[in-house]
Amino acid sequence: MGQEYKDINKEELDNLVTDEQLYEGKAKKVFATEDPNLVLVSYKDDATAFDGTKRGTIRGKGAVNNQMSNYLMNLLENEGIPTHLYKEVNETDTLVKHVDIIPLEVIVRNISAGSFANHYGVEEGIVFDQPTFEFSYKNDDLHDPLLNSSHALALKLATPEEIKTLREYALKVNDILKEFFLSCGVTLVDFKLEFGRTPDGTVILADEISPDTCRFWDVETGEKLDKDRFRRDLGNVEDAYQEMMHRIFG
Ligand code: UDP
């Protein structure tokens, strides 16, 4: 697969990437390339929350999410988690392996927050003895409802083997990232992952890992360094994204 593009120069990149936009999501655009196994992901500064009802712009977010996600995917790849990462091409754009996204949001939590605290009527900040693992059905029309493994099987969203793999990978990602972020002075509260299938059916980690998809709290002060600053109008939204960049890249 496309190995010859690994050390890609500008001209090769221009020849590889097409203008054909395959998809535009809330935070990213995806473009086709001349290689059917690769797509170009372009991260935007657009931010949405609460099912797209709250909209805004977070200056510099696209660059932070792209570079941070790639750094973490590379770290995970080195620890044995297969990922979609192929090659970062600039601050906001990355070539990734083309996959079919499994329509399940895979959520792991170490500390109560957000919808967990709301659903179960508990305060934020309860540290769990064990991480929790849950799925949401990735379906905007239905507002991404929570569902369990038997529901996912009934809806044929994934096979039993795939569900086992998603759980194993997600919990391993949690172990690796919890330790990594602690070394950056950041508590990993919870996060959402998405996985995809390559043409041969292999399940790999896809989408992004960023302040849009994780909750990060400063270890010392508890300050929120993630998208909750946007969701909850806490101010200093851009600063929080930049701070996470500094924590990771120095
Ligand atoms: N999350 C996400 N996309 C979603 C829903 C959740 O990236 O569509 C992330 C969110 O940033 C948090 C974790 O998944 O890190 C758990 O989110 P939660 O279920 O608490 O939902 P929220 O309170 O964000 O609606």
CATH of the domain at 15: 3.30.200.20
The parent domain of residue 83 ranges over 10-98
Q: How many CB atoms lie within 10 A of CB 15?
A: 12
Task: Decide: 115 in ligand 1 pocket, CB within 6 A.
Answer: yes
In a domain? residue 146: yes
| pLDDT value for 46 | 98
Closest CA to 207 of 120, 60, 94: 94
Q: Are residues 115 and 216 in the same domain?
A: yes
Cα 78 to ligand 1 centroid, rounded to whole Å: 26
Distance of CA 97 to the CA centre of its chain: 15
How far, in Å, CA of 102 to CA of 18, rounded? 25
Cα 32 to ligand 1 centroid, rounded to whole Å: 28
Q: Which residues of the chain, if any, have pLDDT below 70?
A: 1-6
Cα 49 to ligand 1 centroid, rounded to whole Å: 10
Cα 1 to ligand 1 centroid, rounded to whole Å: 33
Distance of CA 44 to the CA centre of its chain: 14
Q: Are residues 107 and 76 in the same domain?
A: no
What backbone phi and psi angles, to 5 degrees, belong to 240? Answer: -65, -40
Cα 228 to ligand 1 centroid, rounded to whole Å: 9
> How many structural domains does the chain have?
2
| pLDDT value for 6 | 62
| pLDDT value for 8 | 83
Q: Are residues 118 and 228 in the same domain?
A: yes
Q: Are residues 88 and 105 in the same domain?
A: no
What backbone phi and psi angles, to 5 degrees, belong to 244? Answer: -65, -35
Among 64, 83, 98, the domain-final residue is: 98
How far, in Å, CA of 94 to CA of 78, rounded? 18
In a domain? residue 189: yes
Cα 26 to ligand 1 centroid, rounded to whole Å: 14
Q: Are residues 17 and 29 in the same domain?
A: yes
Nearest-atom number in ligand 1 for the CA of 190 is 15
Q: Are residues 124 and 93 in the same domain?
A: no
DSSP line for the chain: --GGGTT--HHHHHHHEEEEEEEE-SSEEEEEESSTTEEEEEE-SEEEETTTTEEEE-TTHHHHHHHHHHHHHHHHHHTT--B-EEEE-SSSEEEEE--EEPSEEEEEEEE--HHHHHHHT--TTPEEEEEEEEEEE--GGGT--EE-HHHHHHTTSS-HHHHHHHHHHHHHHHHHHHHHHHTTTEEEEEEEEEEEE-TT--EEEES--STTTEEEEETTT--B-STHHHHTT-S-HHHHHHHHHHHHH-
Task: Decide: 213 in ligand 1 pocket, CB within 6 A.
Answer: yes
CATH value at residue 167:
3.30.470.20
Task: Decide: 181 in ligand 1 pocket, CB within 6 A.
Answer: no
> Ligand 1 atom 23: the closest Cα is on which residue?
114
Nearest-atom number in ligand 1 for the CA of 50 is 25
Task: Decide: 217 in ligand 1 pocket, CB within 6 A.
Answer: no
Task: Decide: 48 in ligand 1 pocket, CB within 6 A.
Answer: no
Among 48, 73, 98, the domain-final residue is: 98
Q: Are residues 138 and 156 in the same domain?
A: yes
Q: Are residues 105 and 94 in the same domain?
A: no
Closest CA to 209 of 89, 74, 110, 22: 74
Among 43, 63, 98, the domain-final residue is: 98
Cα separation values, 22 from 31, 167, 199, Å: 5, 29, 17
Task: Decide: 44 in ligand 1 pocket, CB within 6 A.
Answer: no
> Ligand 1 atom 19: the closest Cα is on which residue?
115
pLDDT tens digits for 184-232? 999 999 999 999 999 999 999 999 999 999 999 999 999 999 999 999 9
Residue from 111, 143, 192, 194 whose mutation best tests the ligand 1 pocket (most atoms within 8 A of CB): 192
Residue from 54, 107, 177 whose mutation best tests the ligand 1 pocket (most atoms within 8 A of CB): 107
In a domain? residue 4: no
Classify residue 4 by burial, with Cβ atoms within 10 Å: 0-12, 13-18, 19+.
exposed
